[in-house]
Amino acid sequence: MGLLVELQKRIPDGWFLRRLLPAVLFVVVAVVGGGQLGQRHWDDLGLARERIAGALRLGGGMSADAVASLVLVAVAAVAAAFAVPFAAGAIGALASGAWPWWLMPLGRRLTSWRVRRWAHPDEIGREAVRARAAGRQLRADRLDARRARTGPDRPGSPTWSGDRIRAAETHVRTETGVDVASDWTRLLLAAEDTSRAALGEARDAYDAACEALAWSIAFTLLGAWWWPAAPVGVVVWLASWRSLRRAVEALCRTTEAVFALQHTGRPTPTQP
């Protein structure tokens, strides 16, 4: 415990709480659940205690094998903590619609499927009114929820996040005449500290949601060896997906606001 406290003092909180601790939890669950219990004895906690005690030889003190086991677990946890940002980066790219060329056939199919399912929010609202008038309250509530998360433009990306990001770029270009991709670095250098902090927090929330999605995939795959990990991964996936949508919305709104502030704050050529 003292070692963990000392590590928390020396390691940044974001890295410690968001990456190292989930990595330690995942490695422990993988070793105990997948390596010791398996599918046949998935709920045998007594067996898990016996295996752990036998591996560490707790009754006779810390032997060389016990120390080696702890070192291997620590190395695996640190390796997982460093690997998650790379996996999260790939998830973030897919969520934003920036798919690699070899996945574009699948991306086009997903885009076509989303276009077929898409309806204008006004049309969905009218359908909700008709459903509520007919006494179908549950359907009306579902339609209201669908209307709230449906954009006014036809989908042009495999993901909702990609459409939202493109809409923000279009809005900034229309309102300010600048391109988000080409002027992003200039914006960060010229923006005030409060604006940079807001953008940093919004981007950090987006990265955290992508990392949580990476952990959810890891736990779901671990269910092949210890099935209780699979439902945990699914629950984390659902929560992380909702967090990702909120993070994308916050990031886009913050970006639009900062670009608008920078544009209105620029001096015009007629000013001295």
Give the residue with greater pLDDT, 261 vs 8.
261
The per-residue pLDDT for 221 is 93
Model confidence, pTM:
0.82
The per-residue pLDDT for 270 is 40
DSSP state letters, 50-119: HHHHHHHTGGG---HHHHHHHHHHHHHHHHHHHHHHHHHHHHHHHHTT---GGGHHHHHHHHHHHHHH--
The answer to whether the CB of 130 falls within 8 A of the CB of 139 is no
Give the residue with greater pLDDT, 45 vs 208.
208
The per-residue pLDDT for 94 is 93
> What percent of the chain shows pLDDT beyond 90?
37
Work out the pLDDT band at 272, boundaries 50, 70, 90: very low
In this predicted structure, the answer to whether residue 205 has a pLDDT above a threshold of 70 is yes
User: Mean per-residue pLDDT for 176-196?
Assistant: 84
User: Mean per-residue pLDDT for 191-215?
Assistant: 91
Enumerate the domain spans of the chain. 2-118+154-265, 119-153
The per-residue pLDDT for 68 is 72
